């Protein structure tokens, strides 16, 4: 099942409510009037549950092999595309009565349901069978910006959370 903008679930809590693909870095060539010998595109898929990032990579690879490369090779037989997967981060999926979620709720008193539209290592932990929840200080709107920061009050809240966690685990 592939959730795209055209068939996104309007009830999805994610923003945007569908998987995305974008090319964030393009690097190549030596001059505007010279055909580049090599050009590197660094791209990123962001998938949301229930999607599998491996399926998107396979579809992308098939498209490149079946559509893009044949056209390139008609113009220059030496042309081609190399695809290297640098990382693959599975989406964190909701857990039915997850142990980590119960612990986080107990320590924070927050009983709301929250989702985020950014990647973490949480899905990798979950893949190997660990109950997982993402929590931490700061606001994602302030992250990965030229003036990235975490408010002192958020750091203090994070410290208190860690103190409660240590106390809870020491029992």
Mean pLDDT on 134-147: 86
Statement to judge: residues 22 and 55 lie in one domain: yes
CB 14 within 8 A of CB 21: no
Of 14-18, 24-28, 105-109, the least confident: 14-18
Domain range for residue 33?
Answer: 5-75
Statement to judge: residues 145 and 111 lie in one domain: yes
Statement to judge: residues 64 and 116 lie in one domain: no
Examine residue 57 and state whether it is found in any structural domain, yes or no. Answer: yes
Statement to judge: residues 51 and 104 lie in one domain: no
Examine residue 89 and state whether it is found in any structural domain, yes or no. Answer: no
pLDDT of residue 1: 42
Statement to judge: residues 12 and 44 lie in one domain: yes
* pTM exceeds 0.75, yes or no: no
Examine residue 36 and state whether it is found in any structural domain, yes or no. Answer: yes
Domain boundary among 29, 59, 75: 75
Statement to judge: residues 70 and 122 lie in one domain: no
Statement to judge: residues 25 and 66 lie in one domain: yes
How many distinct structural domains can be found in the chain? 2
Examine residue 162 and state whether it is found in any structural domain, yes or no. Answer: yes
Examine residue 90 and state whether it is found in any structural domain, yes or no. Answer: no
Integer Rg of the chain from CA: 21
Q: With 90 as the cut, is the pLDDT of residue 112 above it?
A: no
- Phi, psi values for residue 82, rounded to 5°: -105, 135
pLDDT tens per residue across span 73-103: 999 999 999 999 988 888 888 888 899 999 9
Statement to judge: residues 68 and 9 lie in one domain: yes
Looking at residue 118, which CATH number applies to its domain? 1.10.150
Of 46-55, 117-126, 148-157, 161-170, the least confident: 46-55
Percent of the chain with pLDDT over 90: 49
Statement to judge: residues 51 and 103 lie in one domain: no
DSSP element (H, E) containing 45: strand 39-46
Statement to judge: residues 70 and 103 lie in one domain: no
Mean pLDDT on 165-169: 93
H helical segments located in the chain = 53-63, 69-75, 99-108, 122-127, 152-170
């Amino acid at each position: 099942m592939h959730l795209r903008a055209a068939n996104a679930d309007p009830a999805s809590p994610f923003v945007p409510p569908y998987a995305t693909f974008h090319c964030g870095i393009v690097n190549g060539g030596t001059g505007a009037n010279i055909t580049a010998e090599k050009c590197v595109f660094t791209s990123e898929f962001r998938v949301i549950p229930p999607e599998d990032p491996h399926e998107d990579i396979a579809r992308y690879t098939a498209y490149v092999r079946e559509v893009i490369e044949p056209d390139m090779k008609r113009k220059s037989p030496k042309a081609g595309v190399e695809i290297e997967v640098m990382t693959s981060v599975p989406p964190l999926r909701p857990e039915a009565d997850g142990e980590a979620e119960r612990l986080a709720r107990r320590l924070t008193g927050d009983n709301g349901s929250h989702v985020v539209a950014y990647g973490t290592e949480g899905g990798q932990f979950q893949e190997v069978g660990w109950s997982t929840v993402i929590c931490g200080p700061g606001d994602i709107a302030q992250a990965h910006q030229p003036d990235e920061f975490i408010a002192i009050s958020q750091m203090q809240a994070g410290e208190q959370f860690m103190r409660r966690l240590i106390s809870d685990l020491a029992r």
